[in-house]
Amino acid sequence: MRKIPPLHISLFASACASLLLAACSHAPTTPAAAPAPSTVVVPAEVSTAPSTVILVSVDGLRATTIGTGVMPTVDAIAASGVHAAWLTPSYPTQTFPNHYTLVTGLRPDHHGIVHNHMRDAVLGNFVSKGTSALDGRWWGGEPIWVTLQKQGGIAATMFWPGSEAEIAGQRPRYYMTYNKQMPANARVDKVLAWLDLPAAQRPGLVTLYFENYDVAAHATGADSEESINALKTVDVALARLRDGLHSRGLDASTDLIVVSDHGMITVRSEDVRYLDDLVPANSIQVIHTGPLAGLNPKRGHVQQVEKVLLGRHDHYECWRKQDLPARWQYGHNPRVPAILCQADPGWRVVMHGMPESTQRSGEHSYAPEAPEMRATFVATGPDFIDGTQLPAFDNVEVYPLLARLLHITPAANDGSVDPLLPALRDASP
């Protein structure tokens, strides 16, 4: 598997910024493409044709939820299909960085989506739910839908960070403009409608995204009644998807993978620490706050700010970005702020006068090794060995897995399919 050397990060980011085109249209495009790979029922142990691959994300779904009975459909996939102990998210444990890592196999430091909110010297400010996310110049690397379509396949995305932007000159053949009001069942019905298309128009890859639990948990806590009900709503939608595949005779030719981007933890409003209790607010440019705070000292204040902030504090620790723990593989991209302050699980680092930073009841964005941040991976389908239990693995491995299932050559990435080979019927190198 080809890798991107850490020393080439800046060159990588610059190359991506110059090559990728801005996304100017919200309407689905229809680039010329060869017919989609055939979707067939394969009686043999090993298929010579790619299955249809559906990648589902349940935003914020903790690994510990599996097996509790809250999501019986997901539990059934885990019990009869493939179930990893957990999926280790990339740093930082946020929605946009990790969703894009899942589909590129690149660490956020390499693909450039280093935070939900970030700043670029040329492009300005990025806001995950803003129009800036439609600008393809932010998005480095090659998402799996581009990889597939470059090699003659067809992709469809029912919401996924990055899928509305034109990346490497392409968007998915079929995609939807993100609409959080679209019910979970309606999203499934749209996916099934794509799979009902004639073979020459049918996507070989479909992504499906559910934010229900993440939204509820942020508002009311990780284990609140509202959050549990959100998980149940998503599980009902997944049951609808599986029933729809079965009724169409597609379950025997479809690989279904359910993942999450990170975990979730309940927090208290009083468990906060304030940066401007230590340094004057006018001495720093704050890029983001919360469980992970990022800031740039203003000119003339670098030594003052570093002297006070760097090191361990009560419930958080601050580093120069280049000095972050090596295990996080983060901090060399020019979009990462100069100083990062990582809070302990359950705590937040904020500024006075930012009340919105303390109003959430559930949070993520903590260190990936925190047990509460562990994400989910379960899968089933003709390419997987039933009843396989896997040890934990990093989420950069999902992209090479997708490429293997789709029988395409992956782009350069930071992952390897090796940890998943014990779960695959065709485990040959």
Catalytically annotated residues: 95
Task: Name residue, tokens 């047990």.
Answer: 371
SS3 assignment, position 369 = coil
Go through 24-55 and write b for each residue having 16 or more CB atoms within 10 A of its CB, e for each that does not. eeeeeeeeebeebbebbeeeeeebeebbbbbb
| CA dist 182 → 64, 179, 236, 322, 380 (Å) | 27, 6, 15, 41, 26
Q: Residue 218's closest CA among 253, 248, 180?
A: 180
Q: Quote the Cα angle for 325-291-337, to 5°.
A: 60
Report the C-alpha gap between 169 and 42 in whole angstroms: 34
Side chain identity, residue 290: G
DSSP symbols for 156-169: EEES-TTTTS-BTT
Cβ-contact 423, 77 below 8 angstroms: no
Report the C-alpha gap between 311 and 178 in whole angstroms: 40
Tokens at residue 368, please? 């990936």
Cβ-contact 290, 350 below 8 angstroms: yes
